[in-house]
């Protein structure tokens, strides 16, 4: 890989790899198949400091960059993609506070998020909303004195059950045109009876991690939890954070694809057919070469986007390309790995079946790939404007 790692990054990667090999891989299939939340693994992640990867050191975090965060995500997902969800959307809230919060909000919440005392998430998507974030949003926050009263619902919220703090996006001005100018972001805590987790959603993959619907019924939230202290900035704050989220998803896809490839190339050297290992058959060799090449291309796109974000650049084009390509090749590689395994890969006893179930999430999540293609095209038209 054309990426010069620092000594610190090598140490972190080695630490996460050891955690994955010793603690995660032995139990991942069992927990995933039974859909059991991995409390022990999450506690170990907290001890490793993974809840504070992107929190500046002055607020109690590790103060690392997006490139290192992507390296961590890739390694975690080589073991079990579901674990990445625990800290993925957690860092969406962290990004919004670091880059848009008031100093009072940073000092109040970032140390608690870094330690894992608070576990974060993003409450953005609504039932029936999907990719139409602006037009379909119905959740409203009405100002009453020194508080807001929130009514509405959110769907497909990761960390909803076991999480405790959420970046809640709601309309403070429902009449604003365009609609995004009336959207604001709040730090929503489970400290009021109006905040309800109403159902856990059963999923094809990405199992064992809580994904739920949230309901807000006259939920009271103090005005000092309006992120940045100014209404109307919520949409831009969320979209900026989701740039990093797409790098996160791209790194997840690279990790799952790498795991699927490693399983395939090891199996191909052990499984014999027609008197020799199937790795010696040209048909299998062509698949392995294609898989490895696509993974390396996805990896390079991902870490280029991360490096540009670390320089402070807008990376909606680069992050969109990385997320689009990495997620698509992840599904392709997972399918090819299953084909190389044959009937064995279709059984739940092996990890390959799980990789195939997890892969579609990266195509759909953090903005569907169809939306990513539109974002990429619009940015290219700006760049090459005639």
Catalytic residue of the set 21, 144, 366, 370: 366
Is 366 among the residues known to form the active site?
yes
Whether residue 90 contacts residue 268, with contact meaning beta carbons closer than 8 Å, is answered with no
Whether residue 90 contacts residue 113, with contact meaning beta carbons closer than 8 Å, is answered with yes
Q: Which residues contact 208 (CB under 8 A, 6 or more apart)?
A: 31, 32, 34, 35, 36, 37, 38, 82
**Cis (ω within 30 of 0) for the bond into 178?**
yes
Q: From CA 79, how far away is CA 148, in angstroms rounded?
A: 42
Strands 165-171 and 120-123 come out as parallel
Q: From CA 162, how far away is CA 159, in angstroms rounded?
A: 6
Whether residue 273 contacts residue 284, with contact meaning beta carbons closer than 8 Å, is answered with no
Q: Which residues contact 167 (CB under 8 A, 6 or more apart)?
A: 92, 93, 96, 120, 121, 122, 123, 124, 185, 186, 187, 188, 227, 237, 238, 241
Residues belonging to the active site: 366
């Amino acid at each position: 890989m054309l990426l010069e790692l620092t000594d610190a990054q090598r140490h972190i990667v080695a630490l996460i790899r050891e955690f994955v090999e010793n603690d995660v891989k032995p139990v991942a299939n069992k927990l995933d198949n039974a859909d059991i939340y991995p409390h022990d693994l999450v506690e170990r992640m907290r001890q490793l400091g993974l809840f504070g990867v992107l929190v500046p050191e002055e607020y109690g975090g590790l103060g690392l960059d997006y490139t290192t965060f992507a390296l961590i995500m890739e390694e975690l997902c080589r073991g079990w993609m579901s674990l990445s969800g625990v800290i993925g959307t957690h860092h969406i809230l962290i990004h919004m506070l670091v880059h848009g919060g008031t100093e009072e909000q940073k000092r109040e919440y970032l140390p608690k998020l870094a330690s894992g005392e608070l576990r974060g998430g993003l409450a953005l998507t609504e039932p029936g909303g999907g990719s139409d974030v602006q037009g379909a949003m119905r959740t409203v926050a009405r100002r009453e004195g020194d508080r807001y009263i929130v009514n509405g619902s959110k769907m497909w919220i990761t960390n909803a059950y076991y999480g405790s703090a959420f970046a809640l996006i709601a309309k403070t001005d429902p009449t604003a045109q365009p609609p995004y100018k009336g959207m604001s972001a709040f730090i929503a805590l489970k400290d009021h009876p109006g905040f309800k987790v109403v159902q856990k959603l059963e999923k094809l993959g990405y199992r064992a991690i809580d994904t739920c619907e949230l309901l807000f019924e006259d939920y009271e939230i103090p005005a000092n939890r309006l992120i940045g202290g100014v209404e109307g900035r919520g949409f831009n704050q969320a979209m900026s954070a989701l740039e990093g989220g797409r790098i996160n998803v791209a790194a997840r896809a690279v990790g799952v694809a790498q795991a699927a490839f490693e399983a395939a190339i090891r199996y191909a050297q052990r499984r014999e057919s027609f008197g020799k290992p199937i790795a010696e058959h040209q048909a299998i060799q062509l698949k392995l070469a294609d898989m490895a090449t696509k993974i390396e291309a996805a990896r390079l796109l991902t870490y280029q986007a991360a490096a540009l974000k670390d320089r402070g650049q807008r990376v909606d084009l680069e992050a969109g390309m990385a997320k689009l390509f990495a997620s698509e090749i992840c599904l392709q590689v997972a399918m090819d790995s299953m084909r190389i395994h044959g009937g064995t890969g279709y059984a739940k006893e092996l990890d390959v079946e799980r990789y195939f179930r997890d892969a579609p999430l990266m195509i759909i999540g953090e903005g569907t790939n169809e939306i990513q293609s539109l974002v990429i095209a619009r940015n290219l038209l700006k760049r090459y404007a005639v």
